[in-house]
Amino acid sequence: MSDWLWQSASELGRAIGDGRIDPVELTEAFLDAAAAHEHGPRIYARLTPERARAEAEGARLRAKNGVRRGLLDGVPVSWKDLFDTAGIVTEAGSMLLEGRVPDSDAEVVQRATRAGLVCLGKTHMSELAFSGLGLNPAFGGNIDPAPATPPNVNDPTRVAGGSSSGAATSVAFGLAAAGIGTDTGGSVRVPAAWNDLVGLKTTHGRLSLKGVVPLAESFDTVGPLCRTVEDCAELLAVLGGGKAADLHGASLQGRRFLVLEPYTSDVREAPGRGFAGALARLDKAGARIETGTVTGIEEAMGLSPVLFATEGYGWWRDVIEAAPEKMFPRILERFRGGADFSAPDFVAAWRRLRQLRQVWVAETAAYDAVLLPTAANLPPEIDRLMTDAEYYVTENLLTLRNTRVGNLMGLPGLTLPTGVASCGLMMLTAPRTEERLLRLGAAAEAALA
């Protein structure tokens, strides 16, 4: 059974369909592993064993009667703790929401449940999703980095990446077959990359946000963190109620990619090495790789403070200011930064961003995808983040710099492991082209392997 913990979600689903794995036994294996693991309490905010066992029993019965609902029927997954779950505490990693119990599941949770997926529990995350680091020292009511800060799979003294930190580590440590997270500025792709997983950021609006605790609704997206591109394709179909992308025959031969400067050269040594090695393997597989930039991308990046912080603070201001002492000061400062801008500033920034998005689409139309290192840095040290305020700010901004390109331009993005620990390759395609992105990702995955 221990081998089950390291198989992909799709492999487990096929084994259930073939009668080689019992969904109840599979669920118990993951529950036992999560309960016994030394880092389990730092990864899961709470397990949901009663719900998991009931859902697994249903999957067992369907498998026995030959009426499975799909490939992933009976496969256990984790959920970031900002997806509403009926009757189960959902606090979004914040003491501001302590004891919050929703009456119903988020729409994507409902879809997953109807498809037969098993909910193992809710995973830790950055406070209100407003950090790319995954450090959450305030959750639990005391400023202590340990309880709600999942460790990085490659070095437990470093952060896992955020804000979907527990979603990533639940998979990386073998405590879930897949994790479901959200991405507003990089929160699926960064933790996926830093824990050597595959992560899919969807186009804004592709998947429902109903019942998802918001950060900045104009940018919030839902996406899976998995072991394989196939798993991402299957979970996208489940969460969106559609059909999984056909990945058969995917090839890089003749595909044209743009390596985006300066975001690909201005990176630290290990991410740069991982990216260069990945490009060499894509080239060997027949890809055509060019280097260049896109007009206005730097201007768009400069709009980030007014767009993200202003919307986030506009949503959370009253809740935050009623009890600011409950927040980690670094996160509180980021939210309050949204008060520095006026309503006309916000409207003007969005108007300009829409124009720059049109420029992006026009100037990248000739390429199959844009390529960047997923993060320009490696996971920072937990202890130093706690004691060095300047280090926290600079590392958080650098962590999200590359991924934010996709959010600002409204694009789907996929991160793949490069073979260098905690270093990912990111692919960005045109809005609403997730299936095409996944086919490219499957071909790249084969080349990188």
Percent pLDDT > 90 in the chain is 97
Q: Domain range spanning residue 166? A: 2-301+330-448
Active site residue 187: yes
8, 10, 78, 80: which is the annotated catalytic residue?
80
Q: pLDDT tens for residues 173-194?
A: 999 999 999 999 999 999 999 9
**Average pLDDT rounded to a whole number, residues 78-88:** 98
Mean pLDDT of the chain: 97
With respect to residue 217, please indicate whether it lies within any of the assigned structural domains.
Answer: yes
Instruction: Decide the pairing of beta strands 76-80 and 179-182.
Output: parallel
With respect to residue 312, please indicate whether it lies within any of the assigned structural domains.
Answer: no
Cα–Cα nearest to 443, from 199, 218, 232, 249: 249
With respect to residue 17, please indicate whether it lies within any of the assigned structural domains.
Answer: yes
Q: Return the DSSP state at 353.
A: H
187, 201, 304, 326: which is the annotated catalytic residue?
187
More confident residue, 144 or 106: 106
The helix (run of H) or strand (run of E) holding residue 371 is strand 369-373
- Strands (E) in 162-228, as ranges, are 179-182, 198-201, 222-226
With respect to residue 315, please indicate whether it lies within any of the assigned structural domains.
Answer: no
With respect to residue 429, please indicate whether it lies within any of the assigned structural domains.
Answer: yes
Residue-by-residue DSSP string for 44-66: EEEE-HHHHHHHHHHHHHHHHHT
Active site residue 208: no
139 C-beta neighbours (distance < 10 Å), count: 26
pLDDT of res. 143: 66
**How many separate domains does the chain show?**
1
With respect to residue 164, please indicate whether it lies within any of the assigned structural domains.
Answer: yes
With respect to residue 407, please indicate whether it lies within any of the assigned structural domains.
Answer: yes
- Per-residue pLDDT band for 140 (boundaries 50, 70, 90) equals confident
Whether residue 145 is predicted with pLDDT greater than 90 in this model: the reply is no
**Average pLDDT rounded to a whole number, residues 319-338:** 97
Residue 230 belongs to a domain with what CATH number? 3.90.1300.10
Block residue for tokens 């990702």: 441
78, 94, 163, 165: which is the annotated catalytic residue?
163
Active site residue 8: no
Q: pLDDT tens for residues 365-392?
A: 999 999 999 999 999 999 999 999 999 9
With respect to residue 291, please indicate whether it lies within any of the assigned structural domains.
Answer: yes
Measure CA 231 to chain center: 14
Q: Is 290 exposed, middle or buried (0-12, 13-18, 19+ CB in 10 A)?
A: exposed
Q: pLDDT tens for residues 228-270?
A: 999 999 999 999 999 999 999 999 999 999 999 999 988 999 9
